[in-house]
Amino acid sequence: MAIHDIVYLGDPALRTEAAEVTVFDDNLRALVRDMFETMYHADGIGLAAPQIGLSTRVIVVDLRRQDEDDPEPQRIAIVNPVVTWESKEVEKQTEGCLSIPGLEEVVRRPAQVRVEGQDPDGNDIVIEADDLFGRALQHEIDHIDGILFVDRVSPLKRRMLLKKWKKIEAEAAAEAG
Ligand code: NI
């Protein structure tokens, strides 16, 4: 297993519509294992392949909840995930992203979604998810379409976020000398 470098806002991989997976082999399963490892290492709850620079439609989510009574699935890898239904009801929650560290903003999303796709062995998956799980899936599926959470806020907030990101980047560059 290997931990991969996460790419940041500004990297073209984050703005590319990723390619459909057609081959379900050991390479794909190794990629999924690496993505989980990379996500845990970065202390995130979700990761999409474009975030490690790979333009392929694979996402992983693991909420790592401590609540043993919660029957909802908490850990999943989905290949070629598609939102096939979303509730009219929307919810607002603060989101962040491993590819835009240091930024957070409230994002409106459908409260509940149905997601279809395949598992890493090629078996069909259909899941319905709400709360944080549903939100994390929507956020990661956005990634494989080249969409980031900063695209889902008002133009004014987006400008503020991008300005703050420029400052974070400049500070990082200065520290790196
Ligand atoms: Ni993200």
Distance (Å) from CA 51 to ligand 1 centroid: 8
In a domain, 130, yes or no: yes
128 catalytic per annotation = no
Which domain covers residue 131, as residue numbers? 12-176
Distance (Å) from CA 96 to ligand 1 centroid: 7
Distance (Å) from CA 62 to ligand 1 centroid: 13
Distance (Å) from CA 100 to ligand 1 centroid: 7
Domain count, the chain: 1
CATH number at residue 70: 3.90.45.10
In a domain, 121, yes or no: yes
Q: How far is CA 61 from CA 163, 171, 176, in A?
A: 29, 30, 31
CA–CA separation, 145 and 152 (whole Å): 13
Are 61 and 45 spatial neighbours (Cβ–Cβ below 8 Å)? Answer: yes
3-state class of 19 per DSSP? Answer: strand
Task: Give me the residue label for tokens 């400008």.
Answer: 159
Distance (Å) from CA 139 to ligand 1 centroid: 6
CA–CA separation, 7 and 146 (whole Å): 13
CA–CA separation, 86 and 75 (whole Å): 21
Distance (Å) from CA 157 to ligand 1 centroid: 17
In a domain, 21, yes or no: yes
pLDDT in tens, the chain (177 residues): 799 999 999 999 999 999 999 999 999 999 999 999 999 999 999 999 999 999 999 999 998 765 666 655 579 999 999 999 999 999 999 999 999 999 999 999 999 999 999 999 999 999 999 999 999 999 999 999 999 999 999 999 999 999 999 999 999 889 887
pLDDT for 139 equals 98
Are 79 and 21 spatial neighbours (Cβ–Cβ below 8 Å)? Answer: yes
CA–CA separation, 117 and 43 (whole Å): 25
Distance (Å) from CA 102 to ligand 1 centroid: 12
In a domain, 7, yes or no: no
In a domain, 156, yes or no: yes
In a domain, 142, yes or no: yes
Q: Which residues surround ligand 1, an ion (CB under 5 A)?
A: 97
Q: What is the pTM of this model?
A: 0.94
Q: Which long-range contacts (CB under 8 A, 24 or more apart) does 157-162 make?
A: 157/105, 161/100, 161/103, 161/105
pLDDT for 69 equals 65
Q: Which of 20, 140, 169, 175 is catalytic?
A: 140
In a domain, 1, yes or no: no
- For β-strands 58-62 and 124-130, DSSP reports them as unpaired
In a domain, 4, yes or no: no
- Residue closest to 107 by CA, chosen among 44, 50, 47, 154: 154
CA–CA separation, 76 and 62 (whole Å): 6
pLDDT for 72 equals 56
- Residue closest to 99 by CA, chosen among 56, 153, 159, 142: 142
